[in-house]
Amino acid sequence: MNSKILLIAILSMTLGSSFCYSQQKKITYDINRLLKENKLVKPYTRQTVTGLTDGSKQGLTLDYILWLKDVNFKTGTIDIDLRGRDVFQQSFLGIAFHGVDTTTNDVIYFRPFNFQSTDTLRRKHSVQYMCSPDFPWDKLRKEHPLVYENEVNPSPLATAWFHARIVVNAGDIVVYVDHSDKPSLTVKKLNNRQGGLIGLWSSGLPGDFANLVITQ
């Protein structure tokens, strides 16, 4: 009798795991092709978005926000290859999500010019979370120093491609760089939005983006 109960329990756990796994939806986005097919939304008329081919990477170079059309991101994992510029205080790029519009959204972004700085504090300003409009980067830095930003590990060159994996849960966000098992940043979400727009985000100089994969 006990063997039968154990067998039923194992089968239930297996089927339950299979069901949960089946609910995950993984999509690889060819952002270069999406641009040509008008499936990306440019909220600013003067935005610059161009196709990019760099070896095996097919992507885009852009400034500001570029939303994915008709994609509602809730929770899950965002994988993206990024490349910034080695210009102090002028290269910021990452992912915007749970967006309502260009002023209300969450952002995980990087400052590549700080990646390998000899200044320890600057290195700790390499990856940051912000929640606009209530919690901009400067307010978080002033009121919660080094809580919502950190250095990246491993540390890429400022002008090199690097991989970011952003795990968005219901209550927190975890960021990994270059396939490391150790997170570079772990923070609590600062709002109750559980879904919304998702897009590529760059401020200052244009940033490069390729190999976008979203699992939710």
Pairwise CA distance, residues 71 & 196, whole Å: 8
Cβ atoms of 112 and 171 closer than 8 Å? no
At residue 2, the pLDDT reads 55
Report pLDDT digits (tens) over 28-48: 999 999 999 999 999 998 999
Instruction: Report whether pLDDT(19) > 60.
Output: no
- The answer to whether the predicted template modeling score (pTM) of the entire model surpasses 0.85 is yes
Closest CA to 112 of 86, 138, 151: 86
